C-alpha cells in the first residue's frame, strides 16, 4: 500500500488550500511508525514548513504576499494507506529522513 500525506495551508484570514502527496512504501512501514516520526517534528504538534519537507507550498500564489496574514507554516492533517498512484518520486522512508533532519524553532 502507498501512503497518502494530507496537509493544508491556512492563512491568517482562515482561507485554506489543501494538498495530498502519495508516497510509495517499499519497506511496508506502519502508519503508526510514520505518524510518530512526523508528529515528533511538528511545530506545536500541528505545523511544519512545507519547503523544509520538500512538499509543495500551498500559499495562495494568485495574490500578493500579505505579511499580516501570510506565513510559511502548513498544517498536518493526516496520513493513510491508499491504493492511489504515487505522485512523489521519493518514497516514504526518504520523506521521513528529510522530516527527521528538520530543526524545530526555538
Q: Are 31 and 92 in contact (CB under 8 A)?
A: no
48 within some domain = yes
Who's near 30: CB < 8 A, 6+ residues apart? none
The rounded radius of gyration (Å) of the Cα atoms in the chain is: 14
Q: Record the cell numbers describing residue 30, joined without a space.
A: 506502519
Q: What is the pLDDT of residues 19-72, one digit of tens each?
A: 999 999 999 999 999 999 999 999 999 999 999 999 999 887 777 667 777 788
Q: Tally the domains of the chain.
A: 1
24 within some domain = yes
Query: pLDDT band for position 106 (50/70/90)?
Result: low
Q: What is the pLDDT of residues 74-100, one digit of tens each?
A: 999 999 999 999 999 999 999 999 999
Say which residue the cell 504576499 belongs to.
Answer: 65
106 within some domain = no
The whole domain housing 11 covers: 2-101
Amino acid at each position: 500500500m502507498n501512503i497518502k500525506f494530507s496537509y493544508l495551508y491556512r492563512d491568517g484570514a482562515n482561507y485554506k488550500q489543501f494538498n495530498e502527496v502519495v508516497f510509495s512504501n517499499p519497506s511496508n512501514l506502519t502508519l503508526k511508525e510514520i505518524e510518530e516520526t512526523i508528529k515528533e517534528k511538528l511545530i506545536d504538534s500541528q505545523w511544519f514548513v512545507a519547503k523544509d519537507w520538500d512538499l509543495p507550498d500551498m500559499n495562495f500564489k494568485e495574490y500578493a504576499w500579505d505579511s499580516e496574514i501570510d506565513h510559511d507554516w502548513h498544517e498536518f492533517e493526516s496520513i493513510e494507506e491508499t491504493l492511489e498512484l504515487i505522485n512523489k518520486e521519493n518514497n516514504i522512508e526518504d520523506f521521513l529522513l528529510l522530516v527527521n533532519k528538520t530543526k524545530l524553532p526555538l
